[in-house]
Homo-oligomer: A and B are copies of this chain.
Amino acid sequence: MSDNTFGKIFQVTTFGESHGAAIGAVVDGMPAGVEIDTDFIQRELDRRRPGAGAAGSTARKESDTAEILSGVFEGKSTGTPIAMLIRNSDQHSSDYGELKDLFRPGHADWGFHAKYGFRDHRGGGRSSGRETACRVAAGALAKLFLKSISNITISAFAAEIGGVKAIDLDMDEISRNPLRTPDAGAVPAMLKRIEECRMAQESCGGIVECRISGVPAGWGEPVFDKLDALLAHAIVSLGAVKGFSVGSGFDAARTAGSVNNSDPEAAGGIRGGISDGEKIVFRAAVKPTPSISQEQLMPGTDGQLHKFAIKGRHDVCIVPRIVPVVEAMAALVLADCALRQRCARV
């Protein structure tokens, strides 16, 4: 129930399985009068597309074209729901037939089976990373709305890949390299690490950082829907994310109160759950892709363990492709907060 809808006023509902007819998103709550730049939506989708980013990406070739079905008239949002449809074109279901009765490690396979009694096993079905394309399309609408009312900029990037950290951060560098990292100097070591993984039939993870400027003080709610709580919900709802932190994050656990209080970056732009007008900074820990091509042991519906090598095309490192998804989720949270803030005062 309602698992497929995110947000309270600016709401997105996504649907679709990896190897079904189509995936899509319905955005309800977009205010009327926002200019809908369809090229921008497509560019955002292109950033997430398999093969768009990096050495680490899958070879699946999907155009991922979003068709807008409703809610836009003469180039502007009408206030009614904006439905976007992305057809699945390159499905290769046959690659997955052998996995029908197996539960891949690190995936939702077993959980789906336990929850629903059966599942669309093709390519991960509803749990495929492909679902995030819908989030990116919806996030693009959120960005267009935010742009129409503010000067907010949302920049996510690979802060760490396979243990290699970005040290010298140059935000302009992010879009110049396929890894979406702001440290040009770290790129060779990161690429080397990814290549090593590929050769070893391995995968690796990393850390995505997101920096948001231009958010006015006062956004976010003071109790359950703290701005950082909403961001945590949004980011941890991405399948590969195992951790979330804001500002000083886990380091705060080891810092003295006076130091934490006076460090302008410790709060991460959010105090008591409400934006304070400073730059918002949060991080997400991304696990290594669980789909690796080496043989692994996996349980089956027969209750036995099976030795099996997953075929198909999989990212060695999902970090560069998750960067635009993180931005999209942040944009969805902020669009919702912006509208909720309109109701805060008489």
Contacts and interface: CB of A to CB of B under 8 A. Distances in A.
Interface stretch (A45-53, A107-115, A167-175, A178-186): A107-115
B70 A22 contact: yes
Contact of A3 (B68, B224, B268): B224
Contacts of A10: 1
A126 interface: yes
Interface string A24-41: 101011011110000000
Nearest to A316: B257
A131 interface: yes
B239 A346 contact: no
Contacts of A119: 73, 78
Given A15-B70, A20-B70, A346-B33, A80 B245 contact: no
B83 A15 contact: yes
A105 B262 contact: yes
Interface residues of A, number: 145
Nearest to A262: B105
Interface string A304-325: 0000000000000000000000
Nearest to A205: B253
A260 interface: yes
Given A32-B117, A145-B346, A224-B237, A127 B252 contact: no
B223 A67 contact: no
Contacts of A82: 15
A23 B70 contact: yes
Nearest to A240: B252
A261 interface: yes
Contacts of A151: none
A4 to B, nearest CB: 5
A253 B164 CA distance: 10
A197 interface: yes
Contacts of A339: 1, 342-343
Given A108-B274, A127-B272, A79 B260 contact: no
A237 B26 contact: no
Given A33-B118, A261-B106, A261-B290, A13 B28 contact: yes
A22 B69 contact: yes
Contacts of A110: 217, 271, 276
Given A29-B343, A31-B346, A73-B119, 13 more contacts: A17-B71, A21-B67, A31-B344, A76-B118, A78-B119, A79-B345, A108-B273, A117-B345, A163-B254, A204-B257, A206-B253, A249-B285, A261-B290
5 contacts: A1-B11, A236-B246, A237-B273, A258-B296, A339-B343
